Amino acid sequence: MAVGVEKPQEEASIARFHKIVLSWDYFRLLKHSHKSKKDIEEGEDDGLGLKKVKDRYKDVDDYISTFEPLLFEEVKAQISQKKDDDYVTEWKSRVVVECNEISGFHLIVVNAAENEESISQNDLLLLSKVKFQEGARLPTTYAFTLVESVQNNRIVLRMFLDGEFTHGKTDVIESSSRLTNVRALITSTNEADRLFYSLKVCSLSTITREYVALQSIGSLPFKDLIVTASEKKFDLEDQAWKISTPLEEYIKENLNKSQWDAIQAGLSRKPFVLIQGPPGTGKTQTILGLLSAILHATPARLHSRRGLLNKKRGPKLSVPDMYNHWGRASPWLGGNNPRDDIMPVDGDDGFYPTTGNELKPEVVNSCRKYRVRVLVCAPSNSALDEIVVRVLNNGVRDENDRSYNPKIVRIGLKAHHSVRAVSMDNLVKQKHESMEVDKERCGGAGKDRDSVRAAILEESVIVFSTLSFSGSALFSKWNRGFDVVIIDEAAQATLGGRGTSNSSSFLFHFLISFLFSCIPMRMESISPNSISNVTMVSEHLRSMELFELREKLRAALRANLKVSGGEPVSSEPKVSLFELREKIRAALRANLKVSRGSMGELQDHVGKVRTQMGDLQAAVRRMEVRPVPRVEPAILVPLANGCKQVFLVGDPVQLPATVISPIAEKFGYGRSMFERFQRAGYPVTMLKTQYRMHPEIRSFPSGEFYAESLEDGPNVKDQTRRDWHDYRCFGPFCFFNLLEGKESQSSGSGSWVNVDEVEFVFLLYQKLVSTYPELKSSQQFAIISPYSAQVNLYKERFKSTFGVDSEKVVDITTVDGCQGREKDVTIFSCVRASENKGIGFVSDFRRMNVGITRAKSSVLVVGSASTLRRGDEHWNNLVQSAEKRDCMFKVSKPYNSFFSNENLNSMKVRDEEPAAAQNATEMEENAAAAYNPGDADQAHGDDVGDFGDGDVDMDDGGGGGFDED
């Protein structure tokens, strides 16, 4: 992995990680996970040796000793989550057919079921002598095991059976009877003894890479900077780089000042450059500008006269020596030219072709010689693809201000169809096809796939990868490193519509459309075309589509049914994923068989799948827009490949990284590297010009969270002006104070709902879309709430009115699920309303910031002013802001009376004499230049910024709708 780390050191880190995790007792972890949030908050570290994350560390050892125990707590939490998902996983019987002991581990080989799709490398399995269920008597013979490889019908598993690491001690092994029992049975000669049952727990791929990256920090060239979060003094003039005048002029014309400042910070060649990207401030555009500048910059000293004078030159020659050199270089001056003795080939006299070899231009070197190689990382596949698409569509600019497409490669899984042409798999396929042609033409053996991948990496100027995949074996085998790493912590998916992911819907529609197209309504309607389609489905089944579908369904249901803080994300009854999966699989199998007896059953399956597809698609959408963890060890993964300069693009004033473990969260594990550096006083360049929100929306978050540092882009006010702004109660910003609203807890969960808010918001929505039909689209309108139970209540209410098409007319989601999205109108439902209770994690200002910065033209906040005032300082300030701007509306029952024509007319904006007239008069009196209408906003200080487009991760307490109070 790490370029500066020896392979044995990396292998030692992986072995240590595996030994610790594989030694753990599954049931002890489950027991520990049942501790209440109150116990965790009030308790200490329970002897786990945990330390709070600090802004600065004394040295590398202090850094590692802080993060390593917290990382292991996160592993424990991921494993413990399995207890909520047992219903989706089946026990598999395994017979140990081979056992070897190597380097302190037992490597066993077990049988694999035919077409077993759910097991892959680095999966953690629980191996037990007997099946067990929660509440039943615990078994005495069980252990964790890790999948080393899966080949044909054999699975190679790694086990550590020497003892158990307990109580957070990673250097003390205690004996364990359960591990001793497992050791005795896997080495037994009796086949009955070697029969076990396995249960898939989770994948350790990502967190293993994070652990290895953490252990390799000592080999990084800027390790001291990471540890101390402070930049060293260096000679800017000597280190800085400069770009050509044409390229500089282009960037200045097409980017705003703060974006140009960010690029200049990068050209200073500081090891770490932090760029803060508030909502709508053009982070991706800034990254494109950075790529153009980085790829075509040269040392600044070469641009200066002093640099040219100091440039290295050869030794100065005497006059006689110079004459001697000239004489040798021009032999014809002293007699015959030696070149005349060279005889022409095939009668060629050197002037005209005689063999048909017409003069043609030759490409001497088609590869541009770049000075740097760049790695661009984002937290998720869809967020990464958004950046790749922009590079493919817009290209980068060279030193002569010409647009071109550099050689790039997108590495990882699940590439969006828009970027598939530059995906590693596609490029490898093309290389192999060309090599096959060359092999047939010239003979010889072709290259293996690893060599081809390494060649593609070597040729690529920009490599795109997710944070996790940048730690894969592909980079480790390449062992080359990068000059610059750009990490967009705040990146979110926007392909296929702002804030939505196309990958899940594409997969669903692809499979289901094929399913329906291949199913004849009657046996008599079978045609050669349908048989051809059947073959296509079979091919896709043999590859990966069915497996991806199953995994997405599993993840979707897991996201809906997981419990966090005592609250199920969904109040709907549990659906058997296994049953649904088997129905889809049976439908496809039955279709392939095309048997008369199975056709009726097949049609039943298809109907059931169709009825459930809408709910599943919504669940997958919620799952895929959930932010990806960006804890500090995750940021270290791409850095471990080796680099000279790092760009971190983020926004710590939005939602933090996802941390599953409440213990790790308590000790600050969710704090990102960007936030730690900023807290330590490291210089940050902020993008200050926003292009998304109406100035009235931007006003509050800018003043509350960003010290009035943002400004509006040109014409933002006019571009976000809408017809419904004729009524004060419809925006751009307003607060509806429901005087009689009451909160209540959803039955069977710890989540909160507010039925009164649901009724009022529904009437508000109906009035808006009936008056302004263009809003009747989920692309334009969103309802946001911090609580998933409230979101479910809204969905039920809208579905009962609009039917299955309710998702098309309005986007209903949690605050955590709306990151990266932007809508014309958003309604923020606060839920909490009581006389003496707090407001829970609604008080998290990062959630507040994300929720109110999604709208372009109108954000309508619905809540209890008195409860919010009492519960949090930031909410108190928002209520006061609404009062000062005369956009606070008190609402009493019956709510429909608020939307009567008489009441709405009283809230209609009255025409007033434009302030511009008075300004123009004053300007005429002062003999100034003609009035510019755009100056009015600036004169009144409307250009205040907001922060949030970076759309950060969800809080562990409320991630994706998980509630904690």
Q: Residue 358 pLDDT > 50, yes or no? A: no
The reply to whether omega before 894 is within 30° of 0 (cis) is: yes
Last residue of a domain, one of 602, 625, 648: 625
Whether residue 874 has pLDDT greater than 90: yes
158 and 273 together in one domain: no
Q: How many residues does the chain have?
A: 965
CATH code assigned at 456:
3.40.50.300
Q: Is the pLDDT of residue 298 over 90?
A: no
| 719 or 85, higher pLDDT | 719
Asked whether residue 85 is assigned to any structural domain, the reply reads yes
The answer to whether residues 518 and 458 belong to one domain is no
- What domain count does the chain have? 4
Q: How far is CA 772 from CA 498, 730, 822, in A?
A: 21, 11, 19
Question: Which residue has tokens 């890479």?
Answer: 209
Q: Which residue has the higher pLDDT, 368 or 572?
A: 368
Which of the four pLDDT bands, split at 50, 70 and 90, describes residue 606? Answer: very low
How many alpha carbons fall within 13 Å on the CB side of residue 674?
Answer: 31
The pLDDT tens digits for 492-523 are 655 544 433 333 333 444 444 444 444 333 33
pLDDT at 541: 39
Higher pLDDT, 261 or 2: 261
Residues 177 and 257 in one domain: no
Tens-digit pLDDT profile for residues 695-745: 999 999 999 999 999 999 999 999 999 999 999 999 899 999 999 999 998
Pick from 488, 514, 542: which residue ends a domain? 488
Mean pLDDT on 586-613: 49
CATH code of the domain covering residue 186? 2.40.30.10
Better-scored residue on pLDDT, 572 or 661: 661
Structure confidence by residue, pLDDT tens digits, 470-494: 988 888 777 778 999 999 987 665 5
Beta-bridge mates of residue 891: 738
**How does pLDDT run across 307-335, given as a tens digit for each residue?**
444 555 667 788 888 888 888 888 777 77
Last residue of a domain, one of 444, 460, 488: 488
Does some domain include residue 337? no
Residue 184, domain member (yes or no)? yes
Do residues 106 and 130 both lie within one domain? yes
Whether 731 and 832 share a structural domain: yes
Top-confidence residue, 655 or 795: 795
Same domain, 175 and 245: no
Q: How far is CA 951 from CA 618, 623, 851, 861, 946, in A?
A: 20, 16, 10, 20, 12
Q: Is 441 found in the same domain as 522? A: no
Q: What amino acid is encoded at 701 in this protein?
A: P
The residue among 941 and 731 whose pLDDT is bigger is 731
Give the structural domain span for 175: 1-218
Considering the domain architecture, whether residues 132 and 185 belong to the same structural domain is answered as yes
Residue 277: the pLDDT is 92
On whether residue 653 sits in a domain, the answer given is no
Work out the average pLDDT over 30-55: 73
Q: Is the pLDDT of residue 361 over 90?
A: no
**Domain co-membership, 64 together with 112:** yes
Q: pLDDT category, 381, cuts 50, 70, 90?
A: confident
- The reply to whether 181 and 256 lie within a common domain is no
Which is higher by pLDDT, 425 or 912?
425
- Please determine, for residue 938, whether its predicted confidence score (pLDDT) is greater than 70: no
pLDDT of residue 494: 55
Burial class (CB in 10 A: 0-12, 13-18, 19+), 220: buried
* Higher pLDDT pick, 313 / 451: 451
3-state DSSP assignment of residue 499: coil
**Three-state SS letters, 322-366:** HHHHHHHHCHHHHCCCHHHHCCCCCCCCCCCCCCCCCCCCCCCCC
Model-level pTM? 0.75
Flag whether 650 is in a domain.
Answer: no
Residue 347 lies in a domain: no
Say if residue 247 is in the same domain as residue 391.
yes
Mean of pLDDT values over 659-677: 92
Per-residue pLDDT band at 30 (split at 50, 70, 90): confident
- Local structure of residue 670 (DSSP, 8 states): T
Q: Is residue 636 part of a domain?
A: no
466 lies in some domain: yes
Residues 156 and 30 in one domain: yes
